[in-house]
Structure 1
Amino acid sequence: MAALAWLLIPLVAAIGAGLWGSWANRTRKVRSDGPELIGYARFREAMEKPRSNR
């Protein structure tokens, strides 16, 4: 029975690796980068403004 358990461990690992591989390789929806790029442009504009001396 112990030998059967040692044979099942790699089998379960191979099935798990196959499931993970198919999940990791799935097709995903393409997100729009619009809001991130707008935020980055606002950040750059804010960083380019001269500092006011207090």
Structure 2
Amino acid sequence: MAVLAWLLIPLFAAVGAAIWADWASRDRISGDVAELAGYARFRDAMEQPAPGTDALRP
């Protein structure tokens, strides 16, 4: 019985590695598009002057 337990440990490790490899290689393109759109909105917001700062300009 102990031999069976020692043989199951690498089997479970291989199954876990296969699941992790499948998860790590998933398609993440949709997440990148959303991130790039958010960054573009952030960049546009940073280019606009803040309200009420016109009096501070010379």
TM-score computed with the length of structure 2 as normaliser:
0.59
Q: Does 1:39 align with 2:34?
A: no
Q: Distance in 1 between matches of 2:26 and 2:9?
A: 26
What secondary structure, in the 3-state scheme, does the structure 2 residue paired with 1:26 have? Answer: coil
CA distance change for structure 1 residues 42 and 3 in 2, over 3 Å: closer, same or farther? same
Aligned-residue Cα RMSD (Å) equals 2.2
1:1-54 → structure 2 map (5 Å cutoff):
1-30=1-30, 31-32=33-34, 33-43=36-46
Amino acid at match of 1:27: D
**Which structure 1 segments of 5+ residues have no match?**
none
CA distance change for structure 1 residues 44 and 6 in 2, over 3 Å: closer, same or farther? farther
What secondary structure, in the 3-state scheme, does the structure 1 residue paired with 2:27 have? Answer: coil
TM-score computed with the length of structure 1 as normaliser:
0.62
Q: Distance in 2 between matches of 1:5 and 1:24?
A: 28
